[in-house]
Structure 1
Amino acid sequence: MKTLIRFVLACSLVLAASAMPAFAHGSSLVAKVSLSRQTMTVTYRGKVLHRWKVSTARKGYVTPRGTWRPKRMHRMWYSRKYDMSPMPYAIFYHGGYAVHGTNAVSRLGRPASHGCVRLHTANAARLYSLVKQVGAGNTRIVVTR
């Protein structure tokens, strides 16, 4: 039953996105990261779908603020810069910065990364799936103070 519900939801998201006028696609799916709150709020067409804890840059590193479209996505990526650390469900949005899953779930809710936005891997998978459904061009990643 859960699979059927997920399928229906996925289909409705895709149909709703394809039925919208081209100009309305600009911010269909928004993943807004609050550095001060260490949270991500995911909205679709203005409706909140998810609110999750994240980890962003710890002392000595930076998570840049701004608004971007996803540039590339990898179901699994290994960081060449940080000892081949796994980055499941990576959504790269600005150079080497990405939203991705982490096994360090005890650190979620406080700064802990080298600059990427870390999510619980299950939540990163959900976001990855949503971006795939609506398209990178219809998605924004917004990082605010």
Structure 2
Amino acid sequence: MRINALFLASLFVAASVQSAAARVNVHIDLGSQRMYVNSARGSYSWPVSTARAGYRTPRGVFSAKALQPMHYSAKYDNAPMPHSIFFNGGYAIHGTYATRALGRPASHGCVRLSPWNAARLYSMVRQEGATISISGRR
């Protein structure tokens, strides 16, 4: 009986480790304006744009709350937000067509990526889930 309990406990731990490892880990560094991604598909480092002066990108640890293949911002003139990954209220990681601004603060608070990288991240998060951490100073 005790061996069965130990066996079941070890299976539970193994399953927990596997499911935790399957999640996409996304880290956004506000200082360097870079996103670091680790997933079952590989590791990536991409330039991003976060909040410009007068706005803020929230810091902390979040999970992906909602995914939308194409969202239009009701707050900012129906601005397109392709491959949106919402993580904190109206804050999202999403693609941008303003790719020249990537690598420096330029948004109203969301985390912007190139359309190609946003599509890739969206696909990973949709399949694996995500833990999103944001730290650093602009």
TM-score range, shorter chain: 0.7 to 0.9
How many residues are treated as equivalent by the alignment? 122
Q: Say which of 57, 60, 63 aligns to 1:63.
A: 57
- Give the structure 2 partner of residue 89 of structure 1: 83
* Structure 2: distance between partners of 1:48 and 1:61: 32
Q: Say which of 115, 118, 122 aligns to 1:121.
A: 115
Structure 2, unpaired ranges of 5+ = 1-13
Identical residues among aligned pairs (%): 48
Q: Say which of 35, 42, 65 aligns to 1:40.
A: 35
Structure 1, unpaired ranges of 5+ = 1-19
* Structure 1: distance between partners of 2:26 and 2:15: 21
- Give the structure 2 partner of residue 50 of structure 1: 44
Q: Root-mean-square deviation (CA), in Å?
A: 1.6
Q: Which amino acid aligns with 1:79?
A: S
Give the TM-score, by structure 1 length: 0.79
- Moved runs in structure 1, 4+ residues, more than 3 A? none
Give the TM-score, by structure 2 length: 0.83
* Structure 2: distance between partners of 1:53 and 1:143: 14
* Structure 2: distance between partners of 1:25 and 1:81: 36
- Give the structure 1 partner of residue 4 of structure 2: none
* Structure 1: distance between partners of 2:64 and 2:103: 23
- Give the structure 1 partner of residue 26 of structure 2: 31
* Structure 2: distance between partners of 1:38 and 1:94: 19
Q: Deviations over 1:84-112 (max 9, x none)?
A: 00000000000000000000000000000
* Structure 2: distance between partners of 1:126 and 1:143: 19
